[in-house]
């Protein structure tokens, strides 16, 4: 089980999107994050068409919760 897992934040446009597509072509498992859920779903579908395992995660809320729990 040597499948590379890649987390890409800001994956919906520009360099992040290009990076996600490049890793998809290499057969990596991809987790993307971005601000627009609908655009994220479209990108996940595109990545899957290229044969990649892909999913979208909402990281902003998780990070906010983590910061709150750390600050006491």
Per-residue pLDDT tens for 2-60?
A: 778 999 999 999 999 999 999 999 989 999 998 888 999 999 999 999 999 999 988 76
Q: Which domains does the chain have, with CATH numbers?
A: 5-71 (3.40.50)
Which region, left, alpha or beta, applies to residue 9 given φ > 0 means left and ψ of -120 to 50 means alpha?
beta
Global confidence as pTM: 0.77
Q: Residue 20's pLDDT is what?
A: 96
pLDDT at 1 over 80: no
Q: Which residues does residue 53 pair with via DSSP β-bridges, in sequence order? A: 29
């Amino acid at each position: 089980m040597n499948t590379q897992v890649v987390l890409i934040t800001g994956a919906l446009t520009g360099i992040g999107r290009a990076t996600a597509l490049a890793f998809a072509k290499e057969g990596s498992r991809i987790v993307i994050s971005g601000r627009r859920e609908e655009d994220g779903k479209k990108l996940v579908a595109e990545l899957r068409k290229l044969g990649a395992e892909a999913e979208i995660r909402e990281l902003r809320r998780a990070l906010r919760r983590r910061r709150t729990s750390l600050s006491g």
